[in-house]
Structure 1
Amino acid sequence: MTINCKGQLIDISTPKVMGILNVTPDSFYDGGQYKDEKSILNQVETILNEGAAFVDIGGYSSRPGADYVSEAEELSRVVPVVQLILKHYPETLISIDTFRSEVAKKSIEAGAAIINDISAGHLDDNMIETVGQLGVPYIMMHMKGNPETMQQQTDYDDLIKDINSYFAERIAKAHAAKINDIIIDPGFGFAKTTKQNYELLNNMELLQIVDKPILAGVSRKSMIYKTLNTTSENALNGTTALHMVALQKGAKILRVHDVKEAMECVTLFNQLKQK
């Protein structure tokens, strides 16, 4: 099981870790921490040294109630950071967390390798066609509505069946656009209650019916810290516990704030899998 990143085949049959770099002032956990060149490069160095295969850059917070960001502002946040990272760490495989096709296009042209779209093309009709033209891997997430409305859209006939149907339709559209490498993200916390998030995690192996690698993004989310009656800052232990469950349920990529601890999960998981 491989994905092609800038001509390099990345084997994800062994799980990989994607380190998060939010260049937004209002992300739920690390908003505003990385706003100058030194802090950005220090964090990227940490992410890479701790073993992440990918760095995921986001310039538009998708947390509920996040401020609107114009396309021009998102581009001004993201593209210079891609260029900065590749100037200092040219081998870095950068994923761009965006639902806008123009941001995707300009970021890939600047040297990014992957597009990570929370809307699976629903928030920009040009996104899937653009990714197909760019010839890069595409992470498509399950969400209903948008970040402003998603928490009012948590009704499902059958949660897992509905998510699988969503991905089947989106994957067919992506294949028609000649996107070769598709990764699915179940969208923990997006249009799902806490109870539904745990139902989803507990049954995540059933998403393998669509035959695409799964990315799990649970790091420090409210499904953890609200259940533990704590805060996102104190949710690392809970995150690590659920990362191991996600790996056991078939996740091939963990998208995380804390790379070292996630890599330890992967190492222990790999040891468990040895016969």
Structure 2
Amino acid sequence: MIKARLGRVWIGDGEPVRIMGVVNLSPESFYKGSVRTSVDGVVKTVDSMVKDGVDIIDLGGMSTAPYNRTLVSIDEELGRLAPVVKALKDAYPDLVLSIDTFRARVAEECLRLGADVINDVTGLKGDPDMAKVVADHGVSVIVMTRERTPNRGLEPVDRVINALRESVDIALNSGISRDRIVIDPGIGFGPLSLDPVITGGEPIRGEYRHGDENYPWYSWDSILIMNTVKIRQELGLPILIGVSRKSFLERLIRRSAPPEDRLFASISVEAISVLMGADAIRTHNVHESRDAVRVGEALRLCLNKSPKECSRELIKLVQGTA
């Protein structure tokens, strides 16, 4: 059975597809509609997400979009996050809070304040102290696919699986329990050696952001989504997919569309991701994504089943006896 937990929320086989709502405290974030710069604004947004059925809230104090200049100091990142974590823990003591950071000091302070999960976009490879912080606090971690350098010569899915295995090994060898690890294939992110947030270099530009001229970045991301179930099965861990308003969607719809205009593309790919095997969806749009996730979850019951088997499964689901 493939199953793990993020805080008190179990994810994977036998569980509903979970919804993680994104709230960014970083004005530099690529989707301005997700940004909240006051504690009151965050609490109101989270209140709305809770009413819409969110399972986990993911708080970001610094954008890590590799195609923008987003780097801020550790003190700035902490200054944004700490008061919000305190306020949300007071307002919603049972709500699972995830912190989107790759910095161990930021993670340490937020966990001390009551956060439940660390969402590390470097897959525990960006800060050598991060895995120990997570292990010492006994909390859950989301590890994103990040190659240290481009592993040219392999296909995208194989590269992702290899990079995730490395991150999972770091976690396990540091004392993080396997049932507290969730994987993320890293839609929109390339190798660490090409990431300006890590290297201090220029933002990533061009079509080939993974170091392989056979795979433009939008093809790479699309291939990963369509191979979600393979990645999940190879690692034997639940998988979280984050596609919300990301730039590859603009290429797929083949028209100019800033993040504000990618909602419908987002929810369509979220439903497809669930159909392809995702255990959780990370989204800016909890209200809209909820229904897409539920539909994808329902149709997934019919994969590789006869019409009669499909009908029986859907009847059980709709009638609440599943």
Shorter-chain TM-score above 0.5: yes
Which runs of structure 2 are paired with 1:13-162 in the superposition (5 Å)? 13-30=15-32, 33-63=35-65, 64-144=67-147, 157-162=154-159
Shift of 1:188: 0.4
Partners of 2:94 and 2:167 lie apart in 1 by 31
What RMSD over aligned residues (CA atoms) do the two structures have, in Å? 1.8
User: 2:251 — aligned with what?
Assistant: 226
Change (3 A) 1:100 1:188: same
Match of 2:221 among 197, 208, 227: 197
- Check conservation: 1:23, 1:31, Cα contact below 8 A: no
Could you tell me how far apart the structure 2 residues matched to 1:199 and 1:67 are? 27
Which whole-Å CA distance do the structure 1 matches of 2:61 and 2:31 have between them?
14
Whole-angstrom CA distance in 2 between matches of 1:76 and 1:57: 13
CA apart distance, 1:166: 1.1
Return the alpha-carbon distance in structure 1 between the equivalents of residues 101 and 41 of structure 2: 22
Q: Report the count of equivalent residues.
A: 267
CA-CA distance at 1:157 after TM superposition: 2.1
Retained in 1: the 8 A contact 2:184–2:239?
yes
- Residue identity opposite 1:82 in structure 2: V
Tell whether 2:238 aligns with 1:210.
Answer: no
Deviations 1:232-274 (A, max 9, x none): 1111110111001110111111000000121112222333323
1:10 and 2:10 correspond: yes
Give how far 1:16 is off.
0.3
Could you tell me which residue of structure 2 aligns to residue 184 of structure 1? 183
Query: Aligned partners of 2:52 and 2:243: how far apart in 1?
Result: 19
Decide which of 240, 243, 246 is 2:270's aligned counterpart: 243
TM-score scaled to structure 1, two decimals? 0.91
Runs of 5+ consecutive residues of structure 2 not aligned to the other structure: 191-209, 211-216, 302-312, 315-322
**More divergent stretch after superposition (85-94 vs 116-125):** 85-94
Q: Match of 2:63, SS?
A: coil
Instruction: Report the 3-state secondary structure (helix = DSSP H, G, I; strand = E; otherwise coil) of the residue aligned with 1:115.
Output: strand
Identity %, equivalent residues = 28
1:34-93 deviations in Å (ceiling 9; x for gaps): 111221111111111111100000001011223321111111111111001111222211
Q: 1:270 aligns with which of 288, 297, 305?
A: 297
Does the Cα contact within 8 Å between 1:33 and 1:39 map onto a contact in 2? no
Corresponding letter in the other structure for 1:206: K
> Is 1:137–1:182's contact at 8 Å kept on the other side of the alignment?
yes
Q: Distance in 2 between matches of 1:144 and 1:240?
A: 28
Cα 1:60–1:182 shift into 2, 3 Å: same
The answer on whether the counterparts of 2:147 and 2:163 sit within 8 Å (CA) in structure 1 is: no
Q: In the alignment, is the contact (CA less than 8 A) between 1:19 and 1:54 conserved in 2? A: yes
Q: Distance in 2 between matches of 1:174 and 1:237?
A: 36
Query: Who wins on radius of gyration, i.e. which is larger?
Result: 2
Q: Could you tell me how far apart the structure 1 residues matched to 2:147 and 2:79 are?
A: 28
